[in-house]
Structure 1
């Protein structure tokens, strides 16, 4: 248990230092964390242990040199040496400590898994609380980004709307110009038609007056004798035509 706690604390310190270094380097470059070159640290899990407190790495260290039994031989030999040379004196406190060690071992076997599970849950809850703030911040920032994108889209829509309004105004100006040009055309055509009708009317009046004058003068120039001769000639011509029929 103690080794597990020690490994966890060391892993946490290492993760914190790595996070600070990575965050500083990423901030110096562009202000945004480089997730590829500097990934976020993950909480490390303690390694395997043997005999309840000896790390597996110690056995692996001996395994490459002495084989499987090397660590156990080293431990037994060292204990035997300390006891034989009375470096470690077995007085009455030794047996008290041995009994306490057996009690601690039994307690660890009986209570250890439950306590370890409870501690793991506590660590996970603390880690979740820490990550919750980061996740909530990321979520709020993502919402802000989406809102900013929507605002930019709205601004682009306003630009399109203004452009459409300008085009509409130009179309209205073009329509007004063409309407006024048509009005001018109609006015000029009406005046030209008036002048043409006036000239035609004057010409007809002149022709009628000329015809009436000629008819009056011709009628005045015809004498009664000429009129009688002309009437007799017409009757003779009609009689000749009737005889041929």
Structure 2
């Protein structure tokens, strides 16, 4: 008998609970789903509902049903309409399991057996150390999509925070511990600030233009002039007469 997606997920996560001390939570099944997926779930024993995933939240996803209603559905209750998607995304689960096992081993090796490990929903914050709860959080997206050496460094970065204590910050004591256990002794706050500055610069540049504006911009040393026909998130679609360009807002100048 073929198992449904949900049965496969339940089996995978129950094995993990037995073998890895509850490292994975039920909402970690989010990795099997994406916005736009066609899914179904049982409202009760008599009613099955079909819809499309509209938003991925931390513990549930928003499903837009046929007819317009929206439901917040836990990931463990979902099944794909297209069953092949489960197999296609199963490698994500295996990757998450590998990271979970590796992180748990690293934490134990450095004396953090009493600490818990969780995967978080966020993407921008790669890792977090919560002293009050004695817990280390690693971004689920980071764990599944980035290179193993990058993920390992994030784990060690947070372990160093746990060992240094809440008052150490990214100061000398934390840096010394990070070096000792093999983490890159650098604060990730700089990279976060750098990304935020880049985002603000883009928004500021974009705010100076609107659809229909005549603009000029450089391409390989030559200056082009055209009219903005569409405002995309990061670039403007500019009609230069015989050719259309996607030009970064930061390179555009108003042309009179």
User: TM-score by structure 2 length?
Assistant: 0.16
Say which one has the larger Rg: 1
Greater per-residue helix proportion:
1
User: TM-score by structure 1 length?
Assistant: 0.16
